[in-house]
Amino acid sequence: MDGKMDEVNNVYWPSHTGLIANLFIRVDDNFFFGPNLMIRNKNISCRFNEGMTHLEDLWFYTELAWKGNLKYDHISDVVYHYRRHDSSAMSNLKGIDNGFKEYYKNVSELPGVTISQLNYLKRRIRKILFRSFLKRGNVFKAITILKKY
């Protein structure tokens, strides 16, 4: 929803069912994560990284899924409305860029993550940031992202 809580801009329907850790690492579009994600596994111990200002939720769920070999499923009901406005954390592209750096570092330290997975993650981050900066009209920064990652 926009900043005025008007119309829904996009509707997202997850399509994945099953193991989820690799999709988290790939920042894949076939699943959805957010504050409405429910985890049913009492045997995993992970703490929310309070030092991260952006993508901390993605890292939290990635770590849980990786350590707990978690499975993912979804329902067809609308359970979440996301409001986006100019002062939201997800509007701060520099913060998102820094969050992806931290996320990549954390993923690279997970036991068993392969070079292939890390290379894919780099390409995915580059694509997300490139498109985000272009959408905001910052062509120079978008090109810089291509060289950076």
What are the pLDDT digits (tens) for 63-83? 988 988 877 776 777 766 666
Q: Which pLDDT score is estimated for 59? A: 93
Number of domains within the chain: 1
pLDDT at 100 over 60: yes
Q: Is position 143 within any domain?
A: no
Q: Is position 58 within any domain?
A: yes
User: Which class for 107: exposed (0-12), middle (13-18), buried (19 or more C-beta within 10 A)?
Assistant: buried
Q: Is position 4 within any domain?
A: no
How would residue 113 be classed by pLDDT, with cut points 50, 70 and 90?
A: very high
Q: Is position 123 within any domain?
A: no
Domain span at 85: 18-113
Q: Region 11-28: what's the mean pLDDT?
A: 79
Q: Is position 10 within any domain?
A: no
Q: How far is CA 60 from the centre of its chain?
A: 10
Cα–Cα distance, 79 to 93 (Å, whole number): 27
Where is 63: in which H helix or E strand? helix 56-68
- pTM here is 0.79
